[in-house]
Amino acid sequence: MSAKVNDDLLTERRKCEFNVEELTNYLDGGAQATQNRRKLEDKVLSTKGLFDEVPEEYLSHKEKYENAVRKAVVYYKAMKEAEDPNQTEQERANATYRSLLHAAVFKDNSPFSLHLAMFIPAILGQADEEQKKYWMKRASKMEIIGTYAQTELGHGTFIRGLETTATYDPKTEEFVLHSPTLTAYKWWPGSLAHTANYCVVMAHLYINGKSCGIQPFIVQFRDEETHQPLPGIKLGEIGAKLGFNTVNNGFLGFDQHRIPRNRMLMKNAQVLKDGTFKRSPNSKLTYGTMVYVRVVIVNGMANQLARAVTIAVRYSAVRRQSELKPDAGEPQILDYVTQQHKLFIGIASSHAFTLTAKWLTRMYQKVTADLEKGNLDELPELHAIACCLKAVTTTDTSVLVERSRTSCGGHGYMLSSNLPQIYGLVTAACTYEGENTVLMLQTARSLVKALEQAQSGKRLSPTMSYLSEKVSSRLKWDNSIDGIVKGFRRVAYGKVESAMRSMRKYVRSGLGPEDAWNMSSVQLVAASEYTSISEADIRQLQDTYEDLLGKIRPNAVGLVDAFDFRDQILNSTLGAYDGRVYERLMEEALKSPLNAEPVNQSFHKYLKPFMQGKL
């Protein structure tokens, strides 16, 4: 018999003014897609051995990792077996696009993450046809497990500064990989420490003493039978982190490690047997895997944010606290407008990020198809947009997930709420795949170039067209959606123009272009990430906003129910569908090993002698 649902949640669900299932179907891309997703989740989550007897919070660092590998093997097999052979690739992608299935199994991400998120995409994007055929067969069947090794102890952002060398030896037709310094050690790649046995290494290619830029190499670093590190390879784990503690991030050093010529991934640039280097049509095509993952991250943020606000909104409907009016009893904390302000932006932002992710994915697919035909025209714009949206969505999601956590009071600070772990996952994305400030400056670089083109009368791409709108500075906008968008475009234009004016002022004062850029970089980041509008309209918008909060209030629980996260995926004492928060908090607390006995051994060993003055 299923547990009784909390009365307040029942009331909330009766109050909802729209059809929740309809919104779920819309988010999934149709009723069939919802059915497919639910069927996949049912199948996979009914697999034995996927869940923890002891909450992993109570395991050691080493036990957590070993337990995660155990689950990763079970999970991956279950996902493979659950695949419906009659489904198209697109239907399969839709079924997983919104599903956070892996989150039901891994609170802190999987040791296989990088194999799926970067190793396979790097092969698909950087290998020539023959290499792709061979390596994709092995990687997709998990005969090998890979990662993406680009960042080094001394360099993450500045890829051109990477120190790992790959020197071509035409006599043996091999590359010699070497880490000349400690700072050249690859440092951070997920799965690298003890899980993977292959990686795509980004290294500085030298032929006959001449630099040929950063190139991708597929490198085996552990024996496939014994899993021992190969000769000339130094390996290890980088240590405990804020989150991602079951991703097995590691370090790797090369000592004159030789690999055959065909291990350089040669889709874009090639090295012939005699050492002839055939340059890529664009050196930045080598960075293509990062562009792909930045696009994926935007959708990932939408889903993780939806998970956090689901937990916080349901908890806020159940939690009653304080006194809003004398003798009216304790209200649901969701009735405090401050609580609505904290949480409803998160619901809206998740939807906005989902729609943005769909748009960006379509743009990525179009540009990638063009690249296949040798048309690189829209690659710079894709890079600029992907940088901006990855940075903005990860920053906003981190802020909104943390706000979801703090809106749940002390219980939001419990690991059993899962909000701290979700924060750990999303805040990492502000750093990985391009640190956000650096990416915003990449976007700013494109905006400044576009404004210069607009000022010289050139046509701009659709996403930059607001820089060529001759709008008067006295533009009045009303509070219609169209008016607000016009206002934002006007202010965004002003931010770019102001940053550019600032740079020109520094150059006129005698600074070089690089110093002028650096001095204006705070404005440049602002031009890329946010806009604000003038004082007069704030008051009017504020009234509209507070009115809107009231309209959303009766539908808040319905809106988060529509994200359709099952309890195993929320993995939270505060967010379960039945709202039995207090019972679940106690059930989880009793799982603490410290509760196994009423008096802990430390009393007899330390406390008692201490309190009796004997220590």
Ligand X SMILES: CC/C=C\C/C=C\C/C=C\C/C=C\C/C=C\C/C=C\CCCCC(=O)SCCNC(=O)CCNC(=O)[C@H](O)C(C)(C)COP(=O)(O)OP(=O)(O)OC[C@H]1O[C@@H](n2cnc3c(N)ncnc32)[C@H](O)[C@@H]1OP(=O)(O)O
Catalytic residues: 433
Q: Which of residues 410-429 bind ligand FAD (CB under 6 A)?
A: 428
Residue 222 DSSP symbol: B
For ligand FAD, give the closer residue by CB, 106 or 577: 106
Cα–Cα distance between 391 and 383 in angstroms, integer?
Answer: 12
Q: Which of 441, 454, 499, 576 binds ligand FAD (CB under 6 A)?
A: 441
374 is in an annotated binding site: no
User: Which of ligand FAD, ligand X, none interacts with 576 (beta carbon under 5 to 8 A by kind)?
Assistant: none
For ligand FAD, give the closer residue by CB, 185 or 477: 185
- Residue in the block written with tokens 């999303």: 426
Binding site for ligand X (CB under 6 A): 102, 109, 113-114, 116-118, 148, 150-151, 156-160, 190, 284, 287, 290-291, 293, 296-297, 300-301, 304, 379-380, 383, 425-426, 429, 432-434, 438, 442, 445
For ligand X, give the closer residue by CB, 118 or 414: 118
User: Which of ligand FAD, ligand X, none interacts with 437 (beta carbon under 5 to 8 A by kind)?
Assistant: ligand FAD
3-state secondary structure of 271: strand
Nearest one of 164, 168, 263 to 220, comparing CA atoms? 263
Residue 431 binds to ligand FAD (criterion: CB under 6 A): yes
User: Which of ligand X, ligand FAD, none interacts with 400 (beta carbon under 5 to 8 A by kind)?
Assistant: none
Cα–Cα distance between 349 and 247 in angstroms, integer?
Answer: 28
Considering the complex, what minimum distance in angstroms separates the CB of residue 188 from ligand FAD? Answer: 4
Considering the complex, what minimum distance in angstroms separates the CB of residue 115 from ligand FAD? Answer: 10
Q: Is 386 exposed, middle or buried (0-12, 13-18, 19+ CB in 10 A)?
A: buried
243 is in an annotated binding site: no
**Residue 77 main-chain phi, psi, to 5 deg:** -65, -40
Residue 438 binds to ligand FAD (criterion: CB under 6 A): yes
Query: Which region, judged by CB under 6 A, interacts with ligand FAD, from 148-156, 316-324, 364-372, 470-478?
Result: 148-156
Residue 221 binds to ligand FAD (criterion: CB under 6 A): no
Nearest one of 407, 424, 405 to 308, comparing CA atoms? 405
Amino acid sitting at position 291:
V
Q: How many residues bind ligand FAD (CB under 6 A)?
A: 22
**Strands 174-178 and 257-260, sheet pairing:** antiparallel
For ligand FAD, give the closer residue by CB, 156 or 412: 156
Q: Is 280 exposed, middle or buried (0-12, 13-18, 19+ CB in 10 A)?
A: middle
Cα–Cα distance between 28 and 32 in angstroms, integer?
Answer: 9
For ligand X, give the closer residue by CB, 157 or 465: 157
Q: Which of residues 238-257 bind ligand FAD (CB under 6 A)?
A: 244, 249
- In this structure, are residues 306 and 375 in contact, taking their beta carbons and an 8 Å threshold? no
Residue 68 binds to ligand FAD (criterion: CB under 6 A): no
- In this structure, are residues 182 and 255 in contact, taking their beta carbons and an 8 Å threshold? no
Nearest one of 447, 446, 448 to 504, comparing CA atoms? 448
Considering the complex, what minimum distance in angstroms separates the CB of residue 343 from ligand X? Answer: 20
Residue 525 binds to ligand FAD (criterion: CB under 6 A): no
Cα–Cα distance between 289 and 216 in angstroms, integer?
Answer: 11
Considering the complex, what minimum distance in angstroms separates the CB of residue 148 from ligand FAD? Answer: 5
User: Which of ligand FAD, ligand X, none interacts with 117 (beta carbon under 5 to 8 A by kind)?
Assistant: ligand X
Considering the complex, what minimum distance in angstroms separates the CB of residue 591 from ligand FAD? Answer: 27
Residue 463 DSSP symbol: G
Torsion region of 256: left, alpha or beta (phi above 0 gives left; psi -120 to 50 gives alpha): left
Cα–Cα distance between 459 and 89 in angstroms, integer?
Answer: 38
3-state secondary structure of 606: helix
Residue 592 binds to ligand FAD (criterion: CB under 6 A): no
3-state secondary structure of 260: strand
Q: Which of 11, 35, 46, 157 binds ligand FAD (CB under 6 A)?
A: 157
User: Which of ligand X, ligand FAD, none interacts with 296 (beta carbon under 5 to 8 A by kind)?
Assistant: ligand X
For ligand FAD, give the closer residue by CB, 163 or 561: 163
Tokens of 424: 């750990």
The residue number with the shortest CB distance to ligand FAD is 156
Task: Provide Rg for the chain, Cα atoms.
Answer: 27
Cα–Cα distance between 132 and 259 in angstroms, integer?
Answer: 18
How far, in whole angstroms, is CA 227 from its chain's centroid? 30
User: Which of ligand FAD, ligand X, none interacts with 414 (beta carbon under 5 to 8 A by kind)?
Assistant: none
Cα–Cα distance between 504 and 118 in angstroms, integer?
Answer: 40
User: Which of ligand X, ligand FAD, none interacts with 291 (beta carbon under 5 to 8 A by kind)?
Assistant: ligand X
- In this structure, are residues 520 and 308 in contact, taking their beta carbons and an 8 Å threshold? no
Q: What share of the chain is helix, strand, coil (3-state, %, to 5)?
A: 60, 10, 35
Query: Which region, judged by CB under 6 A, interacts with ligand FAD, from 141-149, 168-176, 376-384, 575-583?
Result: 141-149
Considering the complex, what minimum distance in angstroms separates the CB of residue 436 from ligand FAD? Answer: 7
Cα–Cα distance between 142 and 491 in angstroms, integer?
Answer: 50
Considering the complex, what minimum distance in angstroms separates the CB of residue 156 from ligand FAD? Answer: 2
Residue 190 binds to ligand FAD (criterion: CB under 6 A): yes
Considering the complex, what minimum distance in angstroms separates the CB of residue 124 from ligand FAD? Answer: 17
Cα–Cα distance between 160 and 251 in angstroms, integer?
Answer: 20
For ligand FAD, give the closer residue by CB, 203 or 496: 203
Residues lying near ligand FAD in the complex (CB under 6 A): 114, 147-151, 155-157, 188-190, 244, 249, 428, 431-432, 434-435, 437-438, 441
Which residues fall in the annotated binding site for FAD? 151, 190
Binding residues: 151, 190
